[in-house]
Amino acid sequence: MSDAERDIGVIEEEEAAPPSPPPTAPAAGAASFPRRGAEHKYLIAFAVVLAALMQVIDSSIVNVALPDMMGTLGANLDEIAWVSTGYILASVIIIPLTGWLGNFFGRKRYFVGSIIIFTASSFLCGAAHSLTSLVIWRIIQGLGGGALMTVSQAVLFESFPPEEAGTAMALFGLGVMVGPTIGPTLGGWLVDNYGWPWIFYINIPVGIVAAVMIAAYVHDPEGQRKPASIDYQGIALLAVSVGAIQYVLEHGQREDWFDSRFITTLVVIGVVGMVALLWRELTTDHPVIDFRVMRHRQMWVGTILGVVMGVGLYAMSFTLPVFLQQNLRMTAEQTGLTLLPGALATAVSMAVVGRLTNKFDPRLLIASGALIFAYAAWQLAHITGESGQSDFFWPLIWRGVGLGLMFVPVTTITLAELSVQELGQGTGLYNFFRQLGGSFGIAVIATLVARYTSQFRAIIGEHLGVTDPMSLSRLNMLTRGMIAKGADPQRAHEQALRLLEGQLMGQASVIAYSRIYMLAMILILCLIPLLLLVRTTKGAAGAHAVME
């Protein structure tokens, strides 16, 4: 056969063969969001939210039991504080490592192992008979608990298709936001009826169910690769720098900040260590924390939004329970019931927003949430020492609605551009910076509350001198009341002065909290101009549009 005949035969064969389809570009996010386990996505959602909820509740439930622990273990306030501080330090250090640890051990194995560590140490915390053993087991519990929220977020984001990313984040948000509300109420009830060890024992059945379900339904991400080496230097720098910074944020107010040489030294260690960590991780071939994921515009903008939102949220979440219990004399159970409507509003709002994220520009949802949240803060700024439960109902409802409108879109746009390989590191860094931002917010707020209270006490005191007729009338009335209860005139006068001073401090405290809520309103409104940095457009594609 000649060459010409062969060429004609080849042409005839090609014409007879069915035409091959043209190459198509991969769908947006297809490579970034494999759907392994998507057929069980709601079971996976239930399991991982259960794990995250267990960690969030544990963070808030312990504070209610600290007074009982002091009595049982014979500890003072500074000593018992390490029950909370040890856990927080361990969890904050482990959060940015979760992406690397998931790759090193296998994410599914690491997730289940973290739950087992958390659950087993919960039992040992409840069985502890000394402060030392309790603090040790709380540190180990923190090492397990630090992974639960971050890995849960990554698993959820991968299990749902991109167009349902908002729904996934809404389900995650339900556990994260409802947990701190029911934690104090549940803790108060358990301590009153069964004793403080049961705030730890209650984790055991929840942890078992979560571990079994995750082992059954969660898969390792495709393309997961074990790190070629262990960056011991990076791990050491992380532990030293983050541990120092977190300790400063936890105890700085108590030790008068930079008036303490110890606090000043820790600040220097933390800042220098953080700079060294950043340099190390950006120059090594196998970093334990991949800061390079911050090169994505959506990632660093979303992280800034998350930090600002977290500080504003903590300004209200941290101060409101304290105000209800100290100023309005509510019990932990009453406080939880007061906060419950707001938590339910958050749950409903997130469920709705999870659907709206695919239909509306996320910037519009976040801006609407910021305005509603700011309105709630403005309403709370007008509370008084005579306010009751009903006065907090609508402000907390509006706060819950605003929070739901912000939380889901911010989380979705932050993680939307990340590939599978980057998702673990991205969720770890996002939660790490948000946690540090929240800790910084709490530290600043605690300092401002103390200073504002002192300032307003001095201002009010200037108008209540010994020559003020109203002050004298009030003092005489209180003195007569003490005498009527059986006190002698001198003792009655001293008790009346103490009561008057308490009322004065109470009023100054109310004004201080009002100022804090006004600051929270201003801070949340700062989210709106930051939205100009978000690169996204409206469209039914939802998360696809973000990634494009």
What is the model's pLDDT at position 468?
60
What is the model's pLDDT at position 30?
37
Under 8 Å CB-to-CB from 185, ≥6 apart: which residues?
332, 333, 335, 336, 337, 340
Proportion of the chain above pLDDT 90, given as a percent? 13
The tens digit of pLDDT for each residue in 55-75 reads 888 777 777 777 778 878 887
The DSSP output letter for 538 is -
- The answer to whether 383 and 513 have CB atoms below 8 angstroms apart is yes
Which stretches of the chain score pLDDT less than 50? 1-35, 37, 537-548
Under 8 Å CB-to-CB from 4, ≥6 apart: which residues?
none
- The answer to whether 125 and 133 have CB atoms below 8 angstroms apart is no
The tens digit of pLDDT for each residue in 14-70 reads 444 444 444 433 333 333 444 454 567 788 888 888 888 888 887 777 777 777 788
Q: Which of 366, 371, 375 is nearest to 302 (CA)?
A: 366
The DSSP output letter for 38 is G
Residue spans of alpha helices (H) in 74-194: 77-80, 82-94, 98-105, 107-126, 131-159, 165-193
- The answer to whether 137 and 73 have CB atoms below 8 angstroms apart is no
What is the model's pLDDT at position 542?
37
Considering the four listed CATH numbers 1.10.10.60, 3.40.47.10, 1.20.1250.20, 3.30.750.24, the one that applies to the domain covering 31-227 is: 1.20.1250.20
Burial of 437 (0-12, 13-18, 19+ CB in 10 A): buried
The one-letter code for the residue type at 88 is I
Q: How far is CA 39 from CA 45, 46, 161, 218, 419, in A?
A: 11, 13, 11, 11, 21
Return d(Cα 403, Cα 59) in angstroms, integer: 20
Q: How far is CA 387 from CA 30, 384, 397, 449, 511, in A?
A: 53, 5, 16, 19, 13
What is the model's pLDDT at position 6?
46
For 250-309, the DSSP string reads: HHTTTTTGGGSHHHHHHHHHHHHHHHHHHHHHHHSSS-SS-GGGGGSHHHHHHHHHHHHH
